[in-house]
Structure 1
Amino acid sequence: MRKRITVLVVDDERFSREELVFLLKEYEILEVIGEAESGEAAVMKTLQLQPDVLFLDIEMPKMDGLEVAKSVHELKKVPEIVFATAYPDFAVEAFRHEAVDYILKPFEEEQINQTVTRLERRLRTEPMVEKSSVPSKLAVEEEEEITYLNPADIMYVFRDGRVTKIVDQMRTYETKWSLKEVEKRLEPFSFFRIHKSYLVNLQYVERLVPWFNGAFQLELRGRKEQLSVSRNYVKELRKHLEL
C-alpha cells in the first residue's frame, strides 16, 4: 500500500469539477482534498492545502490556468500539474509549464488511467508496509472451493461480460471481481493494462505486432491467441518492456 497522492481540482464550471472528482475518486491512490472555481482560489488553496497535484482547467475568467501554473511554481512546495481542458490548442504552451499531462474534455476512462499511472511514477513513494506483508497468492473462489493462484503463473486477465477471467498456464478461472479489483490485487507484480478489458503479465510477452490505426496485437509465450493493445497504451507498454 502506497501513500495517497493528494489532488486539488480547479475548474470554473461546477459540473466539470464534479465529473472529474467523480472519476478521480475511483482510484484509491488518489485523495481529492479540495476544489477551486477560479484561478485566484486555486493559488490560495494550493498554498493552504499543499496538494501533490493540480488538475487544472485553462480557460477561466480573470486568471486562467496557465497563469495559475506560473504562480504555483513560485511556491515552496510546487505541485505537479495536469491540465484538464476542452481546448487542445494550448498543449504546447502547457507543457512549457512542465505539465505531467494534458487531458481533454469529455474525459475518457483510458485517458484518466494513463494520467494516474504517470502521476504514480512521478510521485512514487516508499510502500507503507514491508514487502514481506504482500500476499503471495491470488485467491479465486470456485463453487465451494478456493483456489490459490501464483501470480507468476497468471498469463493474462480479461473482462468477459459480467465475469472476469484469469488465464494461467493450465486453465482459465472465473471471478466476480471487476478487472480493476484484480489489477489492484496484482499491483505488486509485473502486470500491465493493455486495453480497458485486458491485463497482461509482462513476463510472458513475446512479440508486439502492428495492427491498424496505431493499435497492436500482443503475442504471449506458449499461447496461440493474440491480445489487442489499445493505441492509448502502446507507448507506456513499450517503456515497460524495453531496456
Structure 2
Amino acid sequence: MKIRVMVVDDEPLSRAELIHLLQTHQHIEVIAEADCGETALEKLFQLQPDVVFLDIEMAEMSGLDLAKILQQMKQPPFVVFATAYPNYAVEAFRYEAIDYLLKPFAEEQVHETVMRLTRKLAEKRESFSEISPRKLAIEEEDGIVYVSPSEILFCCREERDTVIVTTQNTYHSKITLKDLEQKLKGSPFFRTHKSYLVNVEKIEQLIPWFNGAYQLTLTGCNEKIPVSRNYVKALRKFLEL
C-alpha cells in the first residue's frame, strides 16, 4: 500500500531535493507540497496525507506551530521534521515526531526514515482495522439502522439533513457531513464537493461539466454527482494508478 506524503518547506530547492529522495522509494507517493503553513493546512484537510515532512523555520507559521495544530485532528498524520537546525530536536519530539531529518539530506538517512514510517503505518492500519466499527449506525424514528460502508453509494447535505444513499435504501440523518466523513475514515470515501461524500469504489466515470468542474456516475445510481474543480485533481490522484 502506498504511503501518501506531503512536503512543507519554504525553500524550493530543499523541498525539491527531499521530494526527489522520497520518490526513489516505490511505495512513497508525494501527493502535495506547500511553501508555508497556511497553504499546508488547506491541503492537509482536503487530501489527508499519511505523513507530513515539515520544515521548522518558516515565516508566519513555523513547523512546530503547524505540528501543534495537527495534533488536534482526530486522525493526525505522522510528522517528520526536516530542518537545518538541530537545536529544535527536543521540542520537536514533544509533538510525537517520527523522525528528525537534518539538511542537507542524506540518502541513507531518508531511507531509514521511510523504513521507520513503513513500520509505524503498518501498525497504525492494523490497529485501526481492529477497532473501527464494521457498520454505520443511522438513527431513525423507529430505531437504529446499521449499514455497511461498502453498501453506501454517496452522502450529501440537503437543508438540515444528511442524506445517505445506499444500494438498497435512502436514509436521512441529523449527523453533519463533516462528522460522517470522520466516521467513515478508513473506508474508501472522498469529498468531491462541499455537499457530497462519495464511495470511490462505486465510481464508474468522470465527466467534464463546466468551468473546470466535473460530474461522476456511480454503479447502481442514476444521479450524477458534482465534483468541484477544487477537488478534481486530488480525486484523480486518489483514483488512478
RMSD of aligned Cα (Å): 4.3
Gaps (5+ residues) in structure 2? 1-49
CA contact (8 A) 1:156 1:168 kept: yes
> In structure 2, which of residues 85, 93, 97 is the aligned counterpart of residue 51 of structure 1?
97
Contact 2:153–2:165 under 8 Å retained in 1: yes
| TM score, norm. by length of structure 2 | 0.56
Q: How far did residue 132 of structure 1 move?
A: 5.2
3-state DSSP of counterpart to 2:127: coil
Q: Alpha carbons of 1:162 and 1:73: their partners in 2 closer, same or farther (altered >3 Å)? A: farther
Correspondence for 2:32: none
Matched, 1:70 2:103: yes
What's the offset of the Cα at 1:219?
A: 1.2
SS in 2 for 1:44: helix
In the superposition, the TM-score normalised over structure 1's length comes to 0.55
**What is the aligned length?**
184
Task: Could you list the structure 1 runs, at least 4 aligned residues long, displaced by more than 4 angstroms after superposition.
Answer: 4-9, 11-23, 31-35, 72-80
Cα distance in 1 for partners of 2:193, 2:213 equals 10
- Cα 1:174–1:11 change in 2 (3 A) is farther
Q: Secondary structure at the match of 2:197?
A: strand
Aligned-partner SS, 2:103:
helix
Check the 8 A contact 1:7/1:53 in 2, yes or no: no
In structure 2, what is the equivalent of residue 208 of structure 1?
Answer: 206
Output the CA distance in 2 between the equivalents of 1:137 and 1:236: 27
Q: Provide the rounded CA distance (Å) in 2 between the counterparts of 1:53 and 1:165.
A: 42
Q: CA deviation at 1:144?
A: 5.1
Spell out, residue by residue over 1:16-46, the C-alpha distance to the aligned partner (whole angstroms, 9 max, x if none).
77985676355323279899xx964xx4224
Confirm whether residue 125 of structure 1 aligns to residue 122 of structure 2: yes
Change (3 A) 1:130 1:185: closer
Contact 2:190–2:198 (CA<8 Å) still a contact in 1? yes
Cα distance in 2, alignment partners of residues 196 and 69 from structure 1? 39
Matched residue, 1:217: 215
Rate the CA distance shift 1:212–1:185 in 2: closer, same or farther, 3 A: same
Q: Work out whether residues 138 and 148 of structure 1, in 8 Å CA contact, stay in contact via their aligned partners in 2.
A: yes
| Shift in CA distance, 212/32, structure 1 to aligned 2, threshold 3 Å | same
How far did residue 224 of structure 1 move? 2.7
Partner of residue 28 from structure 1, selected from 69, 74, 88: 74
1:179-210 residue CA offsets vs partner (Å, 9 max, x unmatched): 23322322333222222332111232122101
Question: Mind listing any 5+ residue stretches in structure 1 that lack a counterpart?
Answer: 55-67, 81-119
Structure 1, 161-170 or 194-203: larger mean CA deviation: 161-170
SS in 2 for 1:224: strand
Q: Which runs of structure 2 are paired with 1:96-111 in the superposition (5 Å)? A: none
Give the direction of change, closer, same or farther, for the CA distance of 1:160–1:18 in structure 2 (3 Å limit).
farther
Asked whether the equivalents of residues 140 and 146 of structure 1 are also in contact (C-alpha less than 8 Å), the reply is yes
